[in-house]
Chain A
Amino acid sequence: MDRFVFLTFDGLSRGAVYAAFALALVLIWRATRIVNFAQGAMAVATAYVGYSVSAATGSYWLGFVVAVLGGLVLGAATERVVMRFVDHSSHLNGVVVALGLVLVIQGVLGMIYGNEFRPAEAPFSREAFTVGGIALLSPFDLFVFGAVFIVVVLLAVLFTRTSVGLRMRASAFAPDVSRLLGVNVGGMLTLGWALAAAVGSLAGMLVLPTELGLHPNAMDIVFVSSFTAAVVGGLDSAVGAVAGGLIVGLLLSYVSGYLGATVAPIAVLLLLVVVLLGRPGGLFSRSAARAV
């Protein structure tokens, strides 16, 4: 029972990170109908910059802020310089271009920083509090929950209560009509990418301290898990992304805990296959399963 409680909290903590990352993917999917396969590599790149700043200045938090701001810049630049020119007639085009970006980013990171694992310190202790002998959450876990919660709330407020959010939603749902109404649709797309990449960078900074370390490929598995989470929740649903993230986090935690860590990635892929076979629209899709 202790083990179960511990695994549950640990799973929710990881799940919160997957939820944030999945949200980043859903944001870009809803606006552009592209799955940003480069999201993991972009997050790692900004994490490298962030940790470099931390090492140079001695302040973890300065590096953290730089990483997130770096996400904003990298996301905007990626949209303006690369993704804007992708031919949208086939879904695959966006995927291929994004995968190409992954190769470039990881290659450049390897050249600049080398391919050894670098330490990625956590800003808070990772030792869990114990209540009545049962290990629950660590201060770091609480930080992760808090950060993701704040991001989700801020994004929700942005999209539903501000005019920028209204413009962004309109640009995603009906770009031509929005242009006729004076909305700068191109600008809203760039903003969407910038925000999504910033959320991805935040998720990266939250998950890297729990991984083996900083490495150009460090976010690859996180990407797969988060992508699964987004699909499970339904690519069009932000609520689904959060729910999917928590589900994947819990699944990974239980499978690792009870069956072994090597089996965990298989469990994620199995979940992806089951959802795609049974309810391809995701758990939160409005219509019944429709083969695409």
Chain B
Amino acid sequence: MTALLEAQGLTVGYGAAPVLHDVDLTVAQGSITAVLGANGAGKTTLLRTLSGLLRPAAGRVVLEGQDLRGVRVEQMVRRGVAHVPEGRGVVTELTVDENLRLGGLWRRDRADTKRALDEVYGLFEPLARRRRFPGHQLSGGERQMLALGRALVGRPRLLLLDEPSLGLAPRVTAQIMALLRTLRDGTGLTVLLVEQNVRGALSVADTGVVMSLGRVVANADAAALRDDEDMRHAYLGF
């Protein structure tokens, strides 16, 4: 297993109180890792630290053997890391097409960006029908497609997703999860997925990491977390 991303001893806080305590995490290349836990467990803080929006007080983040200390947020996308933040981050004042193009502006290869854009429209047919719609006219599911599509336009190697199923109907959630599986299998995309929807996340994940109060309390095969009753009861409450 090649590790694409590693978090080593991360301690992060907003102001005085630390939110993450000594967090270790390894994301294997070409896998889907689910980060699970209740509200306040520190899952969003973890993602924001991995993508550079937050600086750790201690510990480090390593991408393919390279320490990411000092790397600016704007550079992460050039290293192949795409972060879809909590709330999706659809820019509501811009149109669907403008949001998607925004995802590829940093790239130099204009021709391939255009191809990626066409592929995204092919993947998300509702977006193709609403190219000129401003973001605020989209439904929750369409916004999730837009946020995901925008990340994919940059052809990332690692996708950081913060609660993609939030506010979505079960059918739409299942479609998103299935899409992640397809992308992993088809293009070798690595995904780190923060979710409160445990069943949905474990249905596609290879690895499950459970967090509680800012610490990692379990890190196991997703199948084990799903099927081992004791583990499930202990860490996931069902």
Contact = CB atoms under 8 A, between A and B. Distances in A.
B154 interface: yes
Nearest to B75: A182
Interface stretch (A14-22, A77-85, A138-146, A170-178): A170-178
Given A182-B106, A183-B106, A177 B76 contact: no
Interface stretch (B22-30, B36-44, B94-102, B205-213): B94-102
Contact of B105 (A163, A173, A179, A180): A163
Given A169-B94, A170-B94, A173-B91, A178 B102 contact: yes
B126 interface: no
Contact of A180 (B53, B92, B94, B101): B53
A142 B94 CA distance: 35
Nearest to B103: A181
A161 to B, nearest CB: 11
Looking at chain A's contact residues, the main secondary structure is helix
Contacts of A130: none
A182 B77 contact: yes
Contacts of B78: 182
A181 B85 contact: no
Contacts, number: 61
B157 interface: no
A219 to B, nearest CB: 32
Contacts of B94: 166, 169-170, 173
A258 B150 CA distance: 58
B70 to A, nearest CB: 15
B123 interface: no
B167 to A, nearest CB: 18
A180 B73 contact: yes
B185 interface: no
Given A177-B91, A179-B73, A170 B85 contact: no
B170 interface: no
A180 B91 contact: no
Contacts of A176: 53, 85, 89
Nearest to A163: B105
Contacts of A93: none
A174 B91 contact: yes
Contacts of A38: none
A177 B78 CA distance: 15
Nearest to A172: B93
Contacts of A169: 93-94
B74 interface: yes
Nearest to A178: B102
B87 to A, nearest CB: 9
Interface in A162-205: 163, 166-167, 169-170, 173-174, 176-185
Given A177-B85, A181-B150, A170 B91 contact: yes
A159 B57 CA distance: 39
Nearest to A185: B74
Interface residues of B, number: 24
A173 B102 CA distance: 13
A177 B89 contact: yes
Contacts of B101: 163, 166
B143 interface: no
A184 B51 CA distance: 15
Contact of B106 (A173, A177, A181, A185): A181
A166 B75 CA distance: 19
Nearest to A186: B74
A166 B94 CA distance: 9
A267 B129 CA distance: 50
A187 to B, nearest CB: 9
Contacts of A185: 74
A182 B74 contact: yes
Interface string A91-127: 0000000000000000000000000000000000000
A180 B102 contact: no
A183 B105 contact: yes
Nearest to A184: B74
Nearest to A167: B105
Interface of A: 163, 166-167, 169-170, 173-174, 176-185
Interface of B: 51, 53, 73-78, 82-83, 85, 89, 91-94, 98, 101-103, 105-106, 150, 154
29 contacts: A163-B101, A163-B105, A166-B94, A166-B98, A166-B105, A167-B102, A169-B93, A169-B94, A170-B94, A173-B91, A173-B93, A173-B94, A174-B91, A176-B85, A176-B89, A177-B89, A177-B91, A180-B51, A180-B53, A180-B82, A180-B85, A181-B105, A182-B74, A182-B76, A182-B77, A183-B74, A183-B102, A183-B105, A185-B74
Given A181-B150, A183-B105, A183-B106, 16 more contacts: A166-B102, A166-B105, A167-B105, A173-B94, A176-B85, A177-B85, A178-B102, A179-B73, A180-B82, A180-B83, A180-B85, A180-B89, A181-B77, A182-B74, A182-B75, A183-B74
